[in-house]
Amino acid sequence: MNAIFILVLSSFCGFMLGLALSKRDREREAYYRDAAKLCAKLIDNISYKADKMADVLDDIEISSDSLKKNLGEYKSFLNGDKLNVSANCLSKTEAAQIREFFTCLGRTDGDTQIVELKRNENEFNSKYGEIKTKNDKHGNMYIKLGLLFGLLVGILLI
């Protein structure tokens, strides 16, 4: 009975380890998908409506927790605070790109801003495609390898 318990417990721990490893890539995928959606929304708004930035940011639906946090930080920047863009799920170069994106928002005239937003939207869509392809290939692999690693540890402990 103890052997079965050890096997199940170690398998569960391995499964959770694999899930944790795949979570970062899934969050990056959602981040870039939502960032591209944000760019498209901002382009539409600048082209047709010209609403206040804070109102536009409140209207968009974002599923990525990291991007929601970044939008909150950007809203506080609009209210006069220092711009502090955290990027938990991104690499250092990706975080620098996101900081530059938020720093440049609203700094130029509408036409130049639309060109910059289209460039950023293309980059975000490209990055989203790369990450999605990687997740499709490797996302479940992390979970399966974690489960197998847990089983192996359980068998070695028995």
pTM greater than 0.75 (yes/no): yes
Q: Is 1 exposed, middle or buried (0-12, 13-18, 19+ CB in 10 A)?
A: exposed
Centre a 10 Å sphere on the Cβ of residue 85 and count the other Cβ atoms it contains.
Answer: 19
Whether residue 3 lies inside any domain: the answer is no
Whether residue 20 lies inside any domain: the answer is no
Whether residue 158 lies inside any domain: the answer is no
- Can you give the pLDDT at residue 33? 93
How far is the CA of 109 from the CAs of 21, 37, 46, 50, 153, in angstroms?
42, 21, 10, 12, 60
Whether residue 17 lies inside any domain: the answer is no
Q: What does the pLDDT profile of the chain (158 residues) look like in tens digits? A: 788 888 888 889 988 988 888 888 889 999 999 999 999 988 888 877 777 777 777 788 888 888 888 888 888 887 777 877 787 788 888 888 888 888 888 777 878 888 998 999 999 999 999 999 988 888 888 888 888 988 888 888 87
Whether residue 87 lies inside any domain: the answer is yes
Whether residue 1 lies inside any domain: the answer is no
Range of the domain at 78: 28-137
Whether residue 16 lies inside any domain: the answer is no
Asked if residues 154 and 7 have their Cβ atoms less than 8 Å apart, the reply is yes
| Total number of domains constituting the chain | 1
